[in-house]
Amino acid sequence: MTRLLPRALMAPAVVTLFLWMIVPLCMTLYFSVIQFNLLQPDQRAFVGLENFLYFATDPSFTTAVLNTLLLLGSVIGITVVGGTAIALLTHEPFAGRGIVRVLLISPFFVMPTVNALLWKNMMMNPIYGVLAQVWQAFGAAPVDWLTDHPLASVVVMVSWQWLPFATLILMTALQSLDREQMEAARMDGARWLQQQRHLVLPHLARPITVVVMIEMIFLLSVFAEIHTTTGGGPGDASTNVAYLIFKQALLKFDAGVASAGALFAVVLANIAAVFLIRMAGNSLER
Amino acid sequence: MTLSRTLIVLHAVRTLAAWAVALLLFFPLGWMLLTAFKTELQAIAVPPVLLFPPTLENFHEIHVRSDYLLYARNSVITSVASTLLGLLIAAPAAYAMAFFRSRRTQDVLMWMLSTKMMPAVGALVPVYVLAQSSGLLDTRTGLVIVFTLSNLPIMVWMLYAGLREIPPEILEAARMDGATLWQEARRVLLPLSMGSLASTSLLCLVLSWNEAFWSLNLSSAHAGTLTTLIATYSSPEGLFWARLSAASLLAIAPIVVFGWFSQKQLVQGLTFGAVK
Amino acid sequence: ATEIVIATVNNRQMIEMQKLTPVFEKANPEIKVKWVTLEETVLRQRLTTDIATQGGQFDIMTIGMYETPLWAKRGWLKPFQPDAAYDIDDLLPGIRGGMSHEGKLYSAPFYGESSFTMYRSDLAKAAGITLPEQPTYQDIAHFAAKVHDPAKGLYGICLRGKPSWGENMAFLTTLVNVHGGQWFDMGWKPQVDSKPWHDAIGFYVDLMKKYGPPGASANGFNENLTLMSAGKCGMWIDATSAAGSLSDPKFSKVADTIAFVRAPIAVTHKGAGFSWSWGLAIPSSTKKEAAAQKFINWATSKDYVKLVAETDGWIVVPTGNRKSTYAYPEFQKVSKFGAMELKAIEAVDVRDATLPKSPYQGVQFAAIPEFQAIGTEVGQQISAALAGKTRVADALKAGQRLAEREMKKAGYTR
Amino acid sequence: MAYLQLKGIEKFFGGHRAIKGVDLTIERGEFVVFVGPSGCGKSTLLRLIAGLESTDGGSLVLDARDITQAPSSKRDLAMVFQSYALYPHMSVHQNMSFALQLAKEDPAIVRQKVERAASILNLGSYLERTPRALSGGQRQRVAIGRAIVRAPKVFLFDEPLSNLDAALRGQTRVEIAKLHRELGATTIYVTHDQVEAMTLADRIVVLRDGQIEQVGSPLELYDRPANQFVAQFIGSPQMNVVAADQWAAVWRPQAPAAARDGAMGLRPEAVSVVAPGLHPVEARIELVEALGAETLIYARTVDGAALVARQSARCAWHAGDAVSLSVDLAQAHWFDAAGRTVRTVH
Amino acid sequence: MAYLQLKGIEKFFGGHRAIKGVDLTIERGEFVVFVGPSGCGKSTLLRLIAGLESTDGGSLVLDARDITQAPSSKRDLAMVFQSYALYPHMSVHQNMSFALQLAKEDPAIVRQKVERAASILNLGSYLERTPRALSGGQRQRVAIGRAIVRAPKVFLFDEPLSNLDAALRGQTRVEIAKLHRELGATTIYVTHDQVEAMTLADRIVVLRDGQIEQVGSPLELYDRPANQFVAQFIGSPQMNVVAADQWAAVWRPQAPAAARDGAMGLRPEAVSVVAPGLHPVEARIELVEALGAETLIYARTVDGAALVARQSARCAWHAGDAVSLSVDLAQAHWFDAAGRTVRTVH
Ligand SMILES: Nc1ncnc2c1ncn2[C@@H]1O[C@H](COP(=O)(O)OP(=O)(O)OP(=O)(O)O)[C@@H](O)[C@H]1O
Ligand SMILES: Nc1ncnc2c1ncn2[C@@H]1O[C@H](COP(=O)(O)OP(=O)(O)OP(=O)(O)O)[C@@H](O)[C@H]1O
Ligand SMILES: [Mg+2]
Ligand SMILES: [Mg+2]
């Protein structure tokens, strides 16, 4: 009875998720070894690993993998560092803290497409964009963000979206920081910075893992922002793996290669996740 | 008293810095808000116009062109329904994991998260084919199912963390008081997990609301959500920024406002939801 | 009532059609019309996914000259059946041909377009330049150099730079065409690394770097339209359909001063201007063919043109599909560009658009399924060159490799 | 007939045998206290009786009904948890009436029962508060109130006072004793507190490592512990135990033969400190703790044995003083090498 | 000269005056214990001394230096928190050496100091563990160790043992006493535990509602409380206080005039229970608690006064028995109507 009940309760979630994972996965596996272009549905020969080979030999492949990792790394870096800083800044009460919080978390509610359009058109446009105006106001030549720093621009947009998320989680985590620990450190002669470094940061280790994990899942599959703004370019300067797959699937309509790419992405994600998940798992359990 | 004077200065500096950061981060959104009330020519004026008579023309145009209410209704229905359905599936699982822990609990959780790692676009064709053969294309039901499934891991995860904060003795006390499983769940567990349920729901609501890939690809005339409305305006005949801003504003306004109002819940719930 | 779902692109003319739907519904009370309006690239993805999987979500699809022959060949489309009142011979022959497969019309042209040169007559006057009706690219470069004045926020020329087969490559293909180039030779071997390409792309990158606006490599049709209408560009070579918007003072600062000449030429005049048309087609997966046919008959008819004219004025009527439209005196009166547009469209032959003979049809594209991918990949390379990330020669070499790769995978070449 | 009967109860956690075949019978109305060191299985045994854990062997009989397999909700027991486990979202009244409501009791009767319990526990004026708004002692009383409204067959208390501060603890202990007298309910009570065990219990069950060491009335255990473990576990300060090699010469002849290589136990009150030379056992004082009413004197004999003496008078000794110890050997306990009590006749 | 001096210390929380002008001098090496009911301001006073709260009035002088405005980190005090407040991510060694590291002490000296502290506290084998892996008592010792490595001017303890169970508590208490003897460090210790206060303190400070009620050595407070509050607060079980209207007739003549409308206080050991008729004060027994070494007898006189008697012998009385009470009036405390002690000469 006590063994059956939990299983029965978990069954719906486990079964649906299993199906949700396994059915597309199997189909993807199948597609990945046949020649399957949506535009030529009649030619479905078995091609073995050719699709994988084709995907992996794409001239943009290396760049895409690097960009994926770069995007992942920098957004996580920015959001964690920025989020921690903002959380610390807004930790103790001050005038209008409620409003400040509302303003801070708003970007999280913005759809990725709107986010991309907003930045591309109204912020980063080299002629009308707000940034260009600001640059000009200071007498500098406006920067053509999307052309000259395409990946950095994408990083900015994505970070803008996820920074509030990190802030929110870290902000709440700070509230559970033991006050007496901080006081003990003060008694031990620690100054503000030392308190942050020796106590606050270690305390935030766990929420930071949470942030990193959730963000990783979403960041590995960023493509709306790229598609809407740089289209992966110039060249392949802002192409990531998800966008590469997107191109295969919805531009070339090559479901075979796209499937191979998707499987590759799963592998990539798992490699990135394995040590992360271990870390998170441990820190979640403590 | 020199000590407290430096403290006051420090406090003031911190307050200013916090406000500065907040305004900076909010600026793009605020700018969009302004632009939505400009005319097209004002929208692209250089240097930007800050003072202008606000116009509702853009909203009118959107109203004429597309059935905003239909999209909004679809968004509300699909995100709310998928959240509810998700809760229905995730809550029992999270409960089982939190209160009947075994060695495999952690593995199951991690496995669930890992199901989110396949890029959606890679699974498009299989899912499209499945949806089509089951008649779920362009139905809200179809979207609800897909949203639910893609949010499920995160829901289970957050709820699990939240439920683990509830001392098992309280449930045992109810059991000793003669409560059946159902009574225990409804009268004790439910009220106690309100906080994490609320924050989990809010997060999933936001994620469903903003979901663009599946809603765009699995819907057409009937089930389209506000993200598909954006796709109608994202690159119209010439960049009509004011209109685009208005459309974007309409698309995100409900969830942003809702988010503002439930901000407290989110902060509280997340504390024990994701972190503790 | 029968409900039909129409997928369409969010262009001005289509939105007009959407707004006029009640008229159709009143005349045909048994039919209800639902619209799905999407941005072009998204639309193409949606439609392809749906039609290839026989999804059956749409009863009418808005597709262009590129998809029509391909899809018709696959048997994915039902032929258009004009009713008695439909004057099918009024359709412009070039456009009609491009929308047909084996002589049957599969997609009724809703509007058509070519490309031409749009410029600011006030700037031309100030600079003392008069552009001939058929300019060469040397004339264009000369004009751009003269009017370029970035300090005042005015750039000599705006051209597409955003990488996509439907964006920068559409324009660049015509540029290559007039330089005597082509996409594939008769043996389907990609020609991207050939001399005409180097000439054309070299010229383009050089021109844009000197006289183009900043961020040109991200500019597509829409971005350029905005720039042009905001008075930021001296000239712009692009689709004729932009002329309507630019002439409308509500959206355009330059409505009064805009002027039009033919698309520029270089070593040849062949393939100088686009040939494009958006048409309405019926996927074979539909179960509501009769209603769909009825709607298409209505929306692409002469009467529809008149209906638009009556409701919103002649300036916004769909053009480029019917000869008769250009014949209306009211239309001639309001549109400065009409005559030029008709000339441009009539001048194009999608079957003979390149100087050397080509195995494919299409002016600014090659109507084979692989072209989307190849065009976009090459477009990305050129866009990188435009952004200064690579040299033109390297970009074309890389483009050539990519094209060869695709063609090999698709089995055209060994 | 026994009211509650445990027969050969076994419990495994994974491979760990936490309860090793416990047999115990409890009479109706009895107050039984479980004591034992941390981790010895007190809570587990209680939870097995409550049905919160499933047994891996043996059987449970309550009021002539086998309840080994019955779910908790059907056993008609009430439990007071160490952490109170109050329902935080319910008022005191709702907390107390929850069980009755679940049992579909008539609302009028529910009100009456709750009010009676509240008046017994002095909770009358807090009925509408939620647990959050109560002090620790009040929460404790609510937890007890929740149990008593139900008039269950058996009350189970798991270290109910361990979260209270000393003052409140004493107070609540007296209340529990009074309650038990008034209600006469069968009660099982887990504690690690000496005073609670001694004052509340009819019988004390001493557990060690999943097994029962001894069962008996408080004074029985105090005066006649079955072994050294029980002897040292009961009583505070704990019994002085002096190993045979530290015995003073004068003690040795008195020791029963079986204890010669064992140890001698002396309650602190059996030791008194007198001026040096008055008694043959010389010692030095290490610490004097004056508690007001009584004084604890820590001394070490020349043989190295550390002894605590307890006296109710004030004393003038100070740490470091040389003294002699008078020991009432008649009160001594003797243990053999295995720690078992060696019975002597006196 | 006083080592630590508090002069008219005031503290407001919003409008609430939590500390009301406290004056206190503490000598070098003294062990001072703060006691008082919950919320009386013990912790606040400690935190004011530590500099964790800012004072709203008065001044603090430590070792002839005015530290009223100095930040905590500059006061050279060490505090042991009730919750230990160990740094959870640091090993025991790191926890203990943190303060020294911040002070940029030479690593060799740090190691030496930590090792010395660890050996005093018997923590030698746990130095590499994190607090998570320690038992409550061990954590407690780490918290103390963290304080002693610094050799601060004053140790501050805020209810350091309240989280421990009874057994561990007794043990740690003895350790703290030993430590204080060995290090001779000036110590301020907050507790609500009688035994701790009595055994550890050189002087006890009784606080009530933000004010000092009495300062004195433990036995001074026990024997000569300044008022009824102190009298009842010190000692366990607490002093019996009988209001004048419940006095037995024989007590009345003995009472000093000032106490006639006040109350009489009697320590439980000043009351003994004898057979009925032997003494003029008739009573009935309500409860008998046999603790082993001693017995508490709760009785109620015919005049309605509830009295607890404590005796070290076993007794044969049972609840309900009629008895008479023998009271040693020489040991009685007398209080006037305002609760002040009325001094009598004996
Ligand atoms: N759920 C469990 N899983 C595994 N082992 C357990 C579990 N519950 C208890 N144990 C183990 O069973 C033994 C008895 O535990 P129990 O809680 O009954 O001790 P206890 O006597 O109540 O101790 P304490 O006085 O510390 O509360 C311990 O060794 C404990 O580690
Ligand atoms: N930060 C604060 N804000 C407002 N009031 C406070 C604050 N800290 C303490 N108080 C109030 O000051 C008074 C003294 O509190 P303090 O913590 O010093 O009591 P205490 O003697 O330590 O009690 P306890 O024995 O319960 O720990 C109490 O009434 C308390 O409510
Ligand atoms: Mg226990
Ligand atoms: Mg306190």
The pLDDT, as a whole number, for residue B4 is 60
pLDDT tens, C212-247?
998 888 888 888 988 898 888 999 999 888 888 888
Which residue has a Cα nearest atom 25 of ligand 1? D38
User: Cβ D73–B175 below 8 Å, yes or no?
Assistant: yes
Give the distance, in angstroms, between the CA of residue C82 and the centroid of all CA atoms in the same chain: 25
Q: Which of B2, B3, B11 to mutate to test the interface with E (most CBs of E within 10 A)?
A: B3
Q: Is the pLDDT of residue E270 over 80?
A: yes
- As a whole number of Å, the CA-based R_g of chain C is 21
pLDDT tens, C118-127?
999 999 999 8
E74 phi, psi to nearest 5 deg? -105, 5
* Beta strand pairing call for E186-190 and E31-35: parallel
Q: Give the CA dihedral E172, E173, E178, E182, nearest 10 degrees.
A: 90
pLDDT band, residue B239 (cuts 50/70/90): low
Indicate the fold that domain A43-285 takes in CATH: MetI-like fold (1.10.3720)
D307 phi, psi to nearest 5 deg? -130, 145
User: Does B contact A via 3+ CB–CB distances below 8 Å?
Assistant: yes
- CA–CA gap between residue C81 and residue B243 (Å, rounded): 38
pLDDT tens, E190-224?
988 888 898 899 999 999 999 999 999 999 999 99
- CA–CA gap between residue C342 and residue C301 (Å, rounded): 18
The pLDDT, as a whole number, for residue D98 is 92
Which residue has a Cα nearest atom 11 of ligand 1? D18
- CA–CA gap between residue E248 and residue D155 (Å, rounded): 41
Q: What is the separation, in whole angstroms, between the first and last Cα of chain E? A: 35
Q: Is the pLDDT of residue B269 over 60?
A: no
The pLDDT, as a whole number, for residue C400 is 93
The pLDDT, as a whole number, for residue A284 is 52
Which residues does chain A have within 8 Å of residue E146's beta carbon, measured at their own beta carbons? 184, 188
Contacting D residues, span 143-162, partner chain E, CB-CB under 8 Å: 162
User: Tokens 């043959």 map to which residue?
Assistant: D280
- CA–CA gap between residue B63 and residue E150 (Å, rounded): 73
Give the distance, in angstroms, between the CA of residue E334 and the centroid of all CA atoms in the same chain: 23
The pLDDT, as a whole number, for residue C293 is 93
pLDDT tens, E19-35?
999 999 999 999 999 99
Query: E-strand spans in chain E?
Result: 4-13, 16-26, 31-35, 57-62, 65-66, 77-80, 154-158, 186-190, 203-208, 211-216, 240-243, 263-266, 271-274, 281-290, 295-301, 306-311, 322-327, 333-335
Subunits next to A (3 or more Cβ pairs <8 Å) are B, C, E
3-state secondary structure of E282: strand
3-state secondary structure of E163: coil
- CA–CA gap between residue A102 and residue B25 (Å, rounded): 11
DSSP secondary structure, D39-92, as one string: TSSHHHHHHHHHTSS--SEEEEEETTEE-TT--GGGT-EEEEBTTB---TTS-H
**Spans in chain A with pLDDT lower than 70:** 1-3, 275-286
pLDDT band, residue D182 (cuts 50/70/90): confident
User: Cβ E269–D192 below 8 Å, yes or no?
Assistant: no
Question: Which helix (H) or strand (E) element contains residue C109?
Answer: strand C107-113
pLDDT tens, D4-36?
999 999 999 888 899 999 999 999 999 999 998
The pLDDT, as a whole number, for residue B275 is 33
pLDDT tens, A250-278?
777 888 888 888 888 888 877 777 766 66
Chain D's closest residue to B167, CA to CA, is D85
- CA–CA gap between residue A199 and residue A189 (Å, rounded): 13
pLDDT band, residue D345 (cuts 50/70/90): low
Q: Is the pLDDT of residue B272 over 70?
A: no
CA neighbours within 13 Å on the CB side: how many for B118?
A: 27
- Partners of D66 in the beta sheet? D61
Q: What is the torsional sign of CA A118, A122, A125, A130?
A: negative
User: Cβ E198–D290 below 8 Å, yes or no?
Assistant: yes
User: Does C contact D via 3+ CB–CB distances below 8 Å?
Assistant: no
* Ranges B70-79, B110-119, B210-219, D222-231: which has the least confidence: B110-119
Domain E237-343 in CATH 2.40.50.140? The answer is: yes
Q: Is the pLDDT of residue B9 over 80?
A: yes
* Ranges B50-54, D75-79, E3-7: which has the least confidence: B50-54
3-state secondary structure of B133: helix
Collect all residues with Cβ–Cβ distance below 8 Å to B167 and sequence separation of at least 6. Answer: D83, D85
Please report which ligand is nearest the Cα atom of D207: 1
E68 phi, psi to nearest 5 deg? -55, -40
Q: What is the DSSP letter of C17?
A: H
D271 phi, psi to nearest 5 deg? -110, 135
User: Tokens 């998720």 map to which residue?
Assistant: A17
Token pair belonging to A45: 């020969």
- Ligand 3 centroid to B168 CA: how many Å? 14
Q: Is the pLDDT of residue B198 over 50?
A: yes
Token pair belonging to D131: 């647990």
Which residues does chain B have within 8 Å of residue A92's beta carbon, measured at their own beta carbons? 14
Q: How many CB pairs under 8 A join B and C?
A: 86
Contacts 24+ apart (CB under 8 A), C15-21: C15/B65, C15/B237, C16/C308, C16/C312, C16/C316, C16/C318, C17/C110, C17/C299, C17/C304, C17/C318, C18/B65, C19/B64, C19/B65, C20/C304, C20/C307, C20/C308, C20/C311
Q: Please check whether residue D265 is in contact with residue D240, taking contact to mean a CB–CB distance below 8 angstroms.
A: yes
| Domain range list for chain E | 4-223, 237-343
Could you give the percent of chain C with pLDDT greater than 70? 100
- CA–CA gap between residue D89 and residue D241 (Å, rounded): 51
Burial, E165: exposed, middle or buried (Cβ in 10 Å; 0-12, 13-18, 19+)?
middle
pLDDT tens, C302-352?
889 999 999 888 888 888 888 889 889 988 888 888 888 888 888 888 888
Burial profile D174-188: b = 16 or more Cβ within 10 angstroms, e = fewer:
bbbbebbeeeebbbb
Q: Please check whether residue C173 is in contact with residue C365, taking contact to mean a CB–CB distance below 8 angstroms.
A: yes
Indicate the fold that domain E4-223 takes in CATH: Rossmann fold (3.40.50)
Closest residue by Cα to residue B78 from B27, B14, B15, B142: B142
Closest residue by Cα to residue E140 from E59, E98, E82, E224: E82
Collect all residues with Cβ–Cβ distance below 8 Å to B97 and sequence separation of at least 6. Answer: A6, A10, B105, B108, B109, B156, B160
Q: What is the separation, in whole angstroms, between the first and last Cα of chain C? A: 54
- As a whole number of Å, the CA-based R_g of chain A is 23
Closest residue by Cα to residue B76 from B256, B253, B205: B205
Closest in D167, D192, D219 to E192, CB measured: D167
Q: Please check whether residue D265 is in contact with residue D335, taking contact to mean a CB–CB distance below 8 angstroms.
A: yes
Confidence (pTM): 0.81
- Ligand 4 centroid to E50 CA: how many Å? 14
C254 phi, psi to nearest 5 deg? -110, 20
Subunits next to C (3 or more Cβ pairs <8 Å) are A, B
- CA–CA gap between residue B208 and residue B149 (Å, rounded): 11
- CA–CA gap between residue D127 and residue D96 (Å, rounded): 9
- CA–CA gap between residue C349 and residue C346 (Å, rounded): 8
The pLDDT, as a whole number, for residue C396 is 93
- CA–CA gap between residue E35 and residue E214 (Å, rounded): 10
- CA–CA gap between residue B33 and residue B226 (Å, rounded): 17
D184 Cβ closer than 6 Å to some ligand 1 atom? no
Collect all residues with Cβ–Cβ distance below 8 Å to B48 and sequence separation of at least 6. Answer: A128, A130, A133
Cis peptide before E237 (omega within 30 of 0): yes
* Ranges C191-205, E128-142, E255-269: which has the least confidence: E128-142
pLDDT tens, B39-48?
877 777 777 7
- CA–CA gap between residue D149 and residue D78 (Å, rounded): 10
